[in-house]
Every structure is written in structure tokens, then in C-alpha cells.
Structure 1
Amino acid sequence: MLEAVTVTSPPPRATTVVRTAPTARAKQSRRRAYSEVAAQTVTAVRVGIASVPNPASFDAQQQRLWRRPGAESAVSVVRQDPGKKSNLRDVLQLTPGIYMSDRGENSQGTISIRGSDISQTGPRSGRGVRGYIDGIPLGRIESGISLPILDLSVADYLEIYRGAASLRYGALATGGALNLVSKTGLTAPGARLSGYVGSYGVRQSQMEYGGAKGNVDYYAQVNGFRNDGYEYHSANDTLRFSGNVGWRPTDNIENRTSVAVGSTRQELATQVPLDQIVTYRRSGYDPTNASFPYDTRANLDYQRVVNKTIFRNDTTSFEITPYFLATSFDHLPSPRAGIVDVKWQDVGISTRLEHRADLWGLPTELVAGYRPTYETANYRSWQWAAGSGGTVKNRLVQDDQFKSWLHEAYGEAAVEVLPQVRAFVGLQAFQTSRVYKDDYAGPVIPSAGLMGPGSSSGRRNYDRSFEALNLKFGMNWEYASRHFLFGNISRSTEVPNSGDIFALLSVETATNLKVIQDLQMQQAWTYEGGVRGSWDRFQYDLTLYHMNLRNEILSQCALGLIPKAQQTPAIRGQFACNLVGSLVPFNADRTVHRGIETVFRTKPFIDLFTPGDNIFLNAAWTYNDFYFDGDRLYGNSHLPVIPRHNLYGEVGYRHASGFYASANLRYVGERATTFDGSGGENFKIPSYNLFGAKIGWRAPDDSASLWFEARNITDVAYAGDFTALRTAADASGGVTVMPGTGRAFYAGFSKRFD
């Protein structure tokens, strides 16, 4: 017999929230009504999904994820202690298995889960990690996560799916998937004003407003972020607006329309020599003083529209969701690369069916979906005008069109084969095309040296399709109340994206080499097992995994593909290994990713001074062991970039009145910079420890908060990000890195107005 669990539901459509005149009594009544509705509980069958609101509450989702067969977790954004939350790294410190490079206080950098995208950077970062907002693809279908689109200011909570768990939204990605669950007028009622300021010109502000009336709810927000930058020429300026409107014409039909618009202006700093990072970590470094006069940048604008309709009854729900995303990217990765202007458009429709039934007398939950998406893009490159510093376009030298279809179909069945034992079987099938066409028809234009490359040869063409069938098998056993064993076996694939194609075709144009035809689809089998559970004051999660990969798509400096005899000064300048635009993909033969992911949360002492206070201790540790498996070039060398050990821990005190204080430690282990392990100690990034502290107060009813945060208190000079090299010989003058942020302080507030 299926166990019933009690979960907290977000406020449903209710007449108790109808707005009245703004008297004190009305405000108190409305606040009490919201509180009572939010405190309501619904009893839902554990595998039932039709009775759970969409989106589900954080508490309901947490309980569901515990009963799944893989490494899945929910991370509340609104319940975390107030503090700086300008990027995923700020929010996911206590989520194991995730590594994010540190490129300042903005949304730049790379995200990697279980070593996915192990050496990528730039606008195509995030290979192997699929991003979603409310279950709908976040960004470009043929790439990873476009981090500037991921606005944490509108997040209620995040769902993290590591490995095969990503099938929940139709992906069997090597790394996994991340889903942002948005605030709505039901979960974030009232008006709220919040903001913070900090070191190096950091300031952020947000205004948001939500509510409900009858069968309609609404939420809207606008936020701005500005950072002058820790390193010279690394300022960031971001402005975002988003909102959604929900409508329930009947109890069985729900519709929600969401819109988002954003603009990011990001300066790109120079890298500095690792052995001189203490001296140049703020000023940048360039012996020839050739980079500072140029406006190297990565500017992104986006517009996103989604309309989701859900039909449901007691046992079944069906979703149909058309969606549209337009993005434009203005990029000067380096002076010699020229101004790169890319415009993408994605349009698709997502369908999803969830059904609860008995299969041969066994309680069963079925999930199936189909999602076709079409993407078009226009890649254009210009030489820039003399004297403009790279801000003014001059002569068009490249004009390429990119088109891609992606058809994804997936299904999963969860069957309770024995009491407290659930078996899972899943299948994902996809077919995708990559069509890249050189439309340049202008005159032959020679290279302009620092002001950009020469014109296209007219032969930058690529047309290929990929398809795959990926399987998943798993189980979950609740061997004791609130304690679970789980495991799964799954297959995953990753396909070359448009950034890969553009990078390799750029090498072909500059050198007349043929390098793109060798790039293959990546494949992997993953074996995963773990245990998780909780007692009254202790919660734990431990996962072990082993992944065997074929043709893993890695990135190296482009000079590694170009014979020394063809490396003219212009070529070495255009593809210098310390430049963002120098990375090109390549396939490894066989690689292995394996690791341990663990997190625990505990309150070892409660009611110390007053009833309801406690001492809390939380920690997350990730062990990574990634290496080549008998590779013909790299032998059994360990893969670069990702550290073996990654640890975050915090200890603190919390009072029932809302006061809290804590100290934290972030440890990042030593990292290799070369694929073949060459270069010795001079080509290894040292480990580092960063100490931080927080103190603040949040009202028990979340009506107001004040907080102060300190990071890197000891002002450690460390490498936040870097580009991997094929071999130490590819580096001229040693390893160059992007410095992490030094000692910094932040202070902020929030206030809700009912």
C-alpha cells in the first residue's frame, strides 16, 4: 500500500486574498490570510503528481526528490540566510558535485557537474548541464547554460539533478540538469524592496510585487546589478525584468504566461601570470600594454516568452508549453579576433504527460514528453575601426548562418515493486541537426592584424545530424523511515554545439587546415549509488559514481591543432592561449570520471540560551577523480581544471528572533593546467582556503532583514579561472590565470510592504 505523506502547499487560488482598501485592519487580515493558506497541508500519495500544485512547493519537492533513484536535491533560495546571491556559486555552496569557476561577482564563468564541460569557457560554457526555468529549456538548445539568463532574483528554489536524474525534464546529460522554479503571486505576495552594496563597486537593487485576485495571480520584478570589477577592465552592468501571470478558469485547467527581458554589459579583463598573481591580480598584466586600450567584452541581451497550460484530473496531468527565446551577443574576445556579433532565436513546444495508475496491481507513476525545438543563428564578424579601441565595426569579414532542429522524446516509469521499494526504467531518444553555412559574398579582405582577421574563404560549411537512444535503470528503497538507499545505471550523450563548430571553422579559415570533420558525439555510461536520510536534527546525503566516457569533448588552445610551421605572428596573436577566443574542441579517446559527493546538515545544540535557538553545522565535500584511460596522446594523465577536493563548511548560531551569525570556509584543491601533465609544479594551480563570515537578522515573518557578509577575510591571492593547455609547450611564458576576488565586504537589506 502506498504511503501518504503530508507536504506544505503553496497558497492555492483563494478568495481570501482579494485586495481591499489599504487600512491597517485590512493589511493584517490579508497577511493572516496568506499565512493561513501557506500553512495549509495537503495529503498527497507519494507517487501521485496530479494532486500537487504546479509548481510544487519547496517542501513537497524535497520529499519527492528523496524518493527518487539518483542524486537529486532542492535548494531554497528564499529560505537561505540573506546575503549576496549574484550567481550560482553564491547559492550552491552546499550542493556537492558542482564546480563553478570564479570570475568575479558577476554571472560569468563556467559550471560543471561531475566534470562535464571540464575545460570549456566563454559563451558556450556548460556542456553536459541542461538548464530549465519551470521545466522549460532555459537557453539555446544546442549549447549548455547561458548563465546571464539565469536570474536568481526571481527564484523560489532550484532543483539540481546530477547525472541520470536529469531525465526528469527529458535530458540524460553527462553532468545533469538545473531547474529554476520561479516565484509567483501565490508564493511571493506583496511588495518587496531589497538591495545591497559592497566592495569594488558592487551594488544590487530589486523591486518586486505579487498577489492574487480571484482565479488570477501575478508577479513582476525588476533588478539591477553593477560591479566595477576586482580586476582592471572587468566591470559588469546588468538590468533584468521578468514577470508571470497565472489563470485558473477551472479547477482542472491552469495557464501561466511568463516573460523575461535582460541586458548584460561585461568587460573582459586580461589574464595574469600565475607566478605574479600577487603583484598583478588587480591591475591586470600585459608587458606590451597592448590589451588595455581595447574594449574586450561579452555583452548579452535576451527576450524570453513562455506560455504553459496544464490540464489535470485526479490521476493525470498534461502540459503543453510553447516557448520563444531571442538572444544577441556582442563579443570582442581579443583585438585580433575582431568583433563577433551573434543573434540566436529558439522556438519550440514542450509537451509532458504525467499519469498515476496500477500496473499489474503495482502502483505506478508514468512520465512522458516530447519537445521539438528549432534554432537559427547568424554569426557575423567585423574588423574594427582604427582608433575606436574595438568599439566601432569596420569591414564585415564573416557572415555565417546556423540552423538546428532538436527532437527530444522521453519516458520514465516508477513502479512500487515491494513496499517501500520503487524500481525505475527510463528512455530518452533524440535527433538533432547542425547546419552551418558560409554566406559571405563580399570582397577578399586581408587580415588587419590587431584590428581583426581577414575575410572568409566562403568554405565555412558544416552539415551533420546526430541521434541517440539513452537508457536508464534505477531503484530507491526506504529501508527505514526517512532513510533511503538508491542507485542507477544510465547512458548519456553530448553533441558538438554551434560554438564548437564556429571555433573550428575559424581555425580552418585562418590556416586552411581541415579539423572539423574529426569531431564526434560524446557518449558515457554512468553507475551511481548512494544513501540519504535524516533524523530530527541531522540530515545526510552520500553519493558515489563511476562514469566511462568515449569521445569526451574537451577544449584546448587552438595552437595545439596548428603545426608550428604555420604559426605566424598573426596566427599566434589571434589564437594566443591566454585569450577567451582561443579555445577549440577535440575528442579524447577514453576517459573516466568518478567521485564522491556528500553533504550533511545538523543542529548539534538546541535551546541553549532561549527556547528555539540553536547551533548549526553544515558541510559539503566533493572528491573528483577524472583521468584519461590509456589515451594514445595523454596516457593515464589526470584531467585538468577541476580540483580533486572541493569543500565548503559553515558553523553558526541562530536565535528564534531571527538573529544569526556564522563563519565559513571554502577549500579548493590543487588543479592541473595541462592535459598531458607536463610542466611540473610550475603548471599546477595551488590549493587555497577562503574564510568568510555572516551576521544578520531576518524577521520571523520574513517582512524585513538586515545583513552583513565578509569574504576572503585573509585576502588570499588565488586563481579563479584559467584555460587548459594541451601541453606546457603551448604556453609562452608560463601559466596565465584569471585572479579571484580579494577581501570583500557586503551589506544589505530587504523590506516587504503588505
Structure 2
Amino acid sequence: MPYNLNKYVIISLFLGANILFASQGKEDVKLDDITIQESVNKKNPETIDLENTLKEVPGGTNLIKMDDITSSKASISKVLNYEPGIIVQEFFGGNDQPRINIRGSGIQDNPVNRGIQILYDGLALNHPDGSFIIGMIDPEQADHLSIYRGSNAMRYGATTLGGAIDLNIRNAYNSSNSLAFEVGSFEFRKAKMTFAEKIGKFDYHLYASHSQQEGFRNHSEGKRDSIAFNLGYTEENWDNRTYFNYTKNDFDIPFLLRKEEAKNNPELVMGEGHGPLGELLNISIRKPKRESKEYRLANKTKVFTENSVQKIGFYTSKTEDTFRNPLTEMETDIRNFGLDYSFNYNHLLKNNLLTNYLLFVSANKGEMPRTYKSINPLDGSILRKIADVDLDASNVVLGGQVTQELTSDLKALASVQWVLNKREITDNKSKNLLDSDFSYSVLNPKVGLIYEPYEDLRLYTNFSTSSESPNFWQLATVVANPGNPLNDHVQINDLKMQKAKTFEVGVSTKYENFDFSTAFYYSEVDDELISVVGDFAVNGKTINYDGKTIHKGIELGVKHFIDSVFLENDKFVSKLIYNYSHFTFDDGEYEGKYLAGVPKHLIQAEFGYWPNSSWYLGANLRLQPEKTYIDHYNTESTKQDAYYLLGLETSYNITKNLRLFLDLNNITDEVYQTAYVVRGLSAPDLPNFIPGAGFNLTAGLVYKW
């Protein structure tokens, strides 16, 4: 694709401005006064406690400090994108609806709705059946994110292959008042405000934001409104916090294109000159979309003694969700109530070795009544109601864990988790035709070791089992025909619980100016929930694979710091991320073939330079060096192309309180496919791909006081 003049002008201005401000700041203050990344040298107690907690996990974890991110944090994909063990694929034309994969979890779903437990301050955000709407998450509500990869999330009730993402929410103790505005390509706009104050033993934090965009492709408009309020009360030995969240997230779905169309006309949608298939799946007429609105109320109490911590939390939520694909529309009214309790106790033995005991329980129950409707192919109106079903789900997780110091530098961990998931489907339209009850229970054990011969060297290993029950998107699916919608119907899939056995070994260390961490995992998965989407990529069906699958991979992260590179007080930081994902079918129908949906190799790098305390210049790289299979049959002619993306970013503190930043993305205007529908068997003449956005930019202004 030819480069345009405007892009070169912007890049030239970007580089020129960096040189100018760098030269102006040579006599600026010490490096220790850097305010662009306050948490480089300034940590709040919550972050320190969490860092220590993560060190007690004998497995792969991530800690993302939001104040360390100098560029835009407007979407969850931007925040998670450069992390070991996390693979993010943009979806739905660039709206904030990414597919997130951790160790092979749920990336085959369109959109992603399972495979990860998502939490706000340790309280689950997932719906009663375990599903979630990824676009409801506004990461800027968080002070930091902690990610527990795989079974390392056992404490939080996660039973999935992917683990858990916990958003540790901002409050008056870890944030200040602020106003921020962002503008960008494709008519992107975002405004947010934060007010926080401590009043005696009380504190409050109020966050509100609005974002919208036209989108890279036609029919990809989106907007999101968020309000988050929390009120805390703190005593010497206990504290309590109440949370209220409101989110409204609406976006249009531009759907898929065939490979050549995605390469030659990436901005278009089906129905805009795509022949008979475009006429059949005319997006301008059928108008696929998703409109969701959620209210959430939660409360959490912590009680401390010298040797123990107790936490108890309650939450309730109401969600209205309308999800319309090109052929059918599903309306779901979701109500959920849950609780979480944990008791943590430290006991010092006579030989001065510490024993830690942890007991935890989480439970939730809810209803998700859903109606299914056919769409008129002539004008996009609702043609008829296909089904009206009551969906009820409940979950109970009980667990315990013991961590024992064996020597001053060696710890052993043993834990077990009992899980009970129930799913009930009641047909209100066809007189019990679809009625089904599913009950899943399992015991998941885990053992692990942590060896720390030196303060900055940590080695660990663990063996664990995990499980995942299907949600209602997998259990009740629509069979639809675009040419004959009167025959559309809902079918029930008799699915088993997915189970996995995982071995993991890893190391993390700091040596002089290097931070290094890597983990190797090997999982044997039975009855894996896999996607076998066919025909028009709408009739998505999930099955339990009739054989064993193997998930193995390497998660690698390296950071390097150098002070006084060119100037007396400058700083250079580089970061390399490598994710190796080798997922194969061990036997069964697809024996010896790769599971589709995840790139085998993904390389990411970031480079940051501070000429002085006020100015930051960065560059980033995302490289997918090999073509990737999009179907389990491993059809060569329909692979996703290899690609690389280059970006630049800069941030400048105009005053102590006012910061300006600019992000330039895909500066080479690379034509690529960011994501695709995962099929059992694919063909070049089917709609498979979602094109990635070309060159684009985002600029923002942040004022704090």
C-alpha cells in the first residue's frame, strides 16, 4: 500500500519535536524526579504488598502498573498488549473488543467470552455462566493489574486454562484528581475525569469517562460510557470499601472479509461490491451490532490481626445485552449475585520457618433469560422469534492452600480446589423441547516449589490440574440459514467439562541492569472446548474434542535499564517479549495438526528514552514472523499472513501537573489481518478475516492536581 504524504509529515514533526525538547532539557532536574513514570521511583503500599504476594506464587504472573504506561490507556488491548504470556488480537474492526489468549484460553470464540476470570479488587466480574463482555472493562479505573496465568489463579476461584486478570481499582490513597482528553484517527474521542479525596477515616474516588469512534472500517462505530465510584472507610485493623459501576458499551460489527478483500479493500464490509456472497450477507442491511449496559454494586471488608487477614466481599450486577450477528439477534437480561471469602494465617515454627494457611470460598448464582430472533434479509428488521429460554447458572468453589518454608530459601506449596458448576436451560416457547440440565464437579489439586538462593533470583515449578465448564454461548447455539431464515432454530450441545493437567517451570531474576523472567508450561487437555465454525462464520458451534490436545509454550520477558547514556541524567529502557505457543492435537480427528487461533511465534519489543525528567521518546515493534493456521484442518491456502507493526510514542510534561502524549501506530501502513474466525475446515472463498487498521495516531492531554 503506498504511503501518504500526511503520514510522513506527522512522523517528521514527531521526530523533530523530540530533538528540540531533548536539547532544551539538558539542564533539567535529576532522573529521580521523573514524573512521567512516577511509579518507577515511587510505590504505594498496595503495590508493594501485591509485589510480595506475587512472589509467593510458584508460577507465571504479571504486574502492570498503570502509571508506568506513558501512552494511551484507553483500551484493555493497549494495556495488556506488551506482556509475556498474554496474546491480544484486535477484533470487530478496532473497537475495544479484543480476543485475549493466555495459554490457549478461549481465543477461538467470536468474540472472546470465556477462558479467563476477570475481577475487580478480587471480586469476579464474569456472568453467572462464566462468560464476560470484554468491552465492558475500562482499564483506566485501575491503579494496577495483576495477572495470574493458568492455575496460578486458583485462589480467585478461576478454574480456566487461562487464569485470572484482577483490576486493582483506584482509590483516594493511590490516585489524584485529574482531567484527560484524547483524540485520534478514525474520529476517536475520549474524555475522562477523576476526583478523589480523603476525609478523616473516609475516602472516595469518582471516575467518569466517555469514548467514541467511527472506526477503521465502515460500519464499525462504537462508544462507551463509564462511571465508577467507590467509598472507603479505614480503621487500624480493618477497612471497608463499597463500589458502584455503570457501563454502557455500544458498537457496530463490520464482520469478516475473504482474504483478497481484506488485503485489497480492508475498509469495506460485505455488501459493498463483494458479489453474491456480499448480497447474501449485506452488512449495511443486516446491521450486526452489540449493545450492552451494566450496573454493578459490590462491597469488600478486610480484617487484620498480627498474623492473619480475612477478606469478605459481596457483589450483585444487572446487565442488558443485545448481540446481533448478520443472521440472528440475541437479547439477554443478566442478573448475578456472588460472594467471596478468604482467611489467611501465618504461623511461625520454633525453627523460625513460616507456615502460611489459606482457606477460600467463592459462590455466585444468577439468571440469564435469552431470546433468539431471525433477521429479515431484505430490510434488516426482526422476522420472528426463534426461541425464548431461561438460563440459570450457579457456581461454588471451595479451596485451601498451605505454603511451608522448608529452609530459608526454599518453600513448598500444596493446594486443592473443589468446583461445582450447574447450568439449567428451560424452553419457554417449544414446550420443553430444549430443556436441559448440566452439572459439573471436579477436584483440582496443585503442588509447587519456590527456590530463592539469592534476593534477586527466584526459581519455581508446579504441577496442577484445571477445569472449565461450558457457558451458555456454547451450550445453546443457533443454526441459521441466510437464504431461508424461517428454518432458523436453536440447538442444545451436550458438552462436558474441559480438564487439563499442567506442568510449569520458570525463573525470574534481576542482575545489574537486567530484569529477566521466563516460564515453560506443558498442558495435556482432555475434552477441550474447541470451535468448529462452518459456512458463513455465523453458525458457531463448540464441541468437546474427541482426543487429547497438548498446549506447550514459553513466556519470556527481558528488561534492560541504562542510566546516563548520552547526557548526565538521561535514561534508556528496552523491553523484549517473546511468546512461543505450540498447541497440537495429540490424537483424534485432527491428530498431529495445530490448534488454530494462536500464532506460534509472537515477538514484541519496546524502547524508551528519557533525555531528561520531562521528556520521553519511545518506539515499539510487534512481529508475527510466520503464517498462522486459521482452521484445525491446517489448510495452507487460508493462513493468516505474517506481519510486523512499528509504532512511535512520546510524552512531555509541560508543567508539573500537565502532560501531553502522542502515539503513532502502524507507521509503515502495513496491510495485515489482525484476527480471523476459527474453523474446523476453511476455504478461500469463505469470509474468514478481519483486517487490521492502517497508519493511525492518538494524542492526549492529562492534567492532575
TM-score (normalised: structure 2): 0.88
Question: 1:355: which partner in 2?
Answer: 345
Question: 1:577: which partner in 2?
Answer: 536
Deviation at 1:583, TM superposition (A): 4.0
Deviation at 1:62, TM superposition (A): 2.1
Q: CA 1:105/1:153 → structure 2, altered by over 3 Å: closer, same or farther? A: farther
Question: 2:256: which partner in 1?
Answer: 271
**Which residue of the other structure, out of 77, 81, 88, is the alignment partner of 2:76?**
88
Deviation at 1:697, TM superposition (A): 1.4
Q: CA 1:325/1:203 → structure 2, altered by over 3 Å: closer, same or farther? A: same
Deviation at 1:609, TM superposition (A): 4.1
Paired residues of 2:536 and 2:686 also in contact (CA < 8 A): no
- Per-residue CA distance 1:663-693 (angstroms, 9 max, x = gap): 111012421012122x32x211111000100
Paired residues of 1:269 and 1:284 also in contact (CA < 8 A): yes
- Per-residue CA distance 1:134-160 (angstroms, 9 max, x = gap): 000012142244212221111100001
**Which residue of the other structure, out of 133, 145, 148, is the alignment partner of 2:120?**
133
CA distance in 1, matches of 2:254, 2:623: 25
Is structure 2 residue 49 aligned with structure 1 residue 73? no
**Which residue of the other structure, out of 487, 493, 497, is the alignment partner of 1:516?**
493
Q: CA 1:472/1:520 → structure 2, altered by over 3 Å: closer, same or farther? A: same
Deviation at 1:340, TM superposition (A): 1.4
Q: CA 1:78/1:105 → structure 2, altered by over 3 Å: closer, same or farther? A: farther
**Which residue of the other structure, out of 672, 695, 704, is the alignment partner of 1:718?**
672
Deviation at 1:313, TM superposition (A): 1.1
Residue identity matched to 2:325: P
Is structure 2 residue 519 aligned with structure 1 residue 543? yes
**Equivalent residue runs for 1:152-231 within 5 Å:** 152-189=139-176, 191-231=177-217
Question: 2:331: which partner in 1?
Answer: 341
Q: CA 1:41/1:490 → structure 2, altered by over 3 Å: closer, same or farther? A: same
CA distance in 1, matches of 2:377, 2:579: 49
Deviation at 1:80, TM superposition (A): 1.5
CA distance in 2, matches of 1:514, 1:395: 17
Paired residues of 1:504 and 1:516 also in contact (CA < 8 A): no
Q: CA 1:179/1:733 → structure 2, altered by over 3 Å: closer, same or farther? A: same
Is structure 2 residue 587 aligned with structure 1 residue 630? yes
SS of 1:599's equivalent in the other structure is: strand
**Equivalent residue runs for 1:345-744 within 5 Å:** 345-358=335-348, 362-383=353-374, 389-390=380-381, 393=382, 395-440=384-429, 456=430, 458-503=432-477, 516-517=493-494, 519-557=495-533, 559=534, 576-579=535-538, 582-603=540-561, 605-631=562-588, 633-668=589-624, 669-677=626-634, 679-680=635-636, 682-698=637-653, 703-728=657-682, 731=683, 733-734=685-686, 736-744=688-696
Q: CA 1:185/1:240 → structure 2, altered by over 3 Å: closer, same or farther? A: same
Paired residues of 1:131 and 1:144 also in contact (CA < 8 A): no
Structure 2: state its 5+ residue gaps: 1-38
**Equivalent residue runs for 1:43-82 within 5 Å:** 57-81=46-70
Q: CA 1:79/1:698 → structure 2, altered by over 3 Å: closer, same or farther? A: farther
CA distance in 1, matches of 2:444, 2:701: 47
Residue identity matched to 2:265: Y
Q: Percent identical across equivalent pairs?
A: 22
CA distance in 2, matches of 1:349, 1:716: 47
Paired residues of 2:97 and 2:135 also in contact (CA < 8 A): yes
**Equivalent residue runs for 1:134-149 within 5 Å:** 134-149=121-136
Deviation at 1:506, TM superposition (A): 7.8
- Per-residue CA distance 1:615-640 (angstroms, 9 max, x = gap): 21111000010000022x11110111
Deviation at 1:93, TM superposition (A): 2.7
SS of 2:186's equivalent in the other structure is: helix
Paired residues of 1:62 and 1:73 also in contact (CA < 8 A): no
Residue identity matched to 2:496: Q
Deviation at 1:266, TM superposition (A): 0.8
Paired residues of 2:367 and 2:390 also in contact (CA < 8 A): yes
Alignment RMSD, CA only? 2.5
Deviation at 1:67, TM superposition (A): 3.9
Deviation at 1:86, TM superposition (A): 2.7
Q: CA 1:483/1:145 → structure 2, altered by over 3 Å: closer, same or farther? A: farther
Structure 1: state its 5+ residue gaps: 1-37, 43-52, 441-455, 560-575
CA distance in 2, matches of 1:358, 1:218: 37
Deviation at 1:500, TM superposition (A): 0.7
CA distance in 2, matches of 1:238, 1:101: 20
SS of 1:272's equivalent in the other structure is: coil
Paired residues of 2:387 and 2:489 also in contact (CA < 8 A): no
Counting matched residue pairs gives: 655
Question: 2:698: which partner in 1?
Answer: 746
Paired residues of 2:258 and 2:684 also in contact (CA < 8 A): no
CA distance in 1, matches of 2:628, 2:244: 40
**Which residue of the other structure, out of 214, 237, 244, is the alignment partner of 1:259?**
244
TM-score (normalised: structure 1): 0.83
Paired residues of 1:399 and 1:439 also in contact (CA < 8 A): yes
Deviation at 1:384, TM superposition (A): 5.2
Residue identity matched to 2:558: F
Residue identity matched to 2:623: Y
CA distance in 1, matches of 2:208, 2:288: 28
Q: CA 1:233/1:506 → structure 2, altered by over 3 Å: closer, same or farther? A: closer
Paired residues of 1:72 and 1:160 also in contact (CA < 8 A): yes
Paired residues of 1:296 and 1:332 also in contact (CA < 8 A): yes
**Which residue of the other structure, out of 324, 340, 348, is the alignment partner of 1:332?**
324
**Which residue of the other structure, out of 306, 310, 318, is the alignment partner of 1:314?**
306
CA distance in 2, matches of 1:311, 1:59: 19
- Per-residue CA distance 1:548-584 (angstroms, 9 max, x = gap): 0110001111x4xxxxxxxxxxxxxxxx4333x5344
Paired residues of 1:504 and 1:585 also in contact (CA < 8 A): no
Residue identity matched to 2:661: W
SS of 1:523's equivalent in the other structure is: strand
Deviation at 1:91, TM superposition (A): 1.1
Paired residues of 1:271 and 1:285 also in contact (CA < 8 A): yes
Question: 1:119: which partner in 2?
Answer: 108
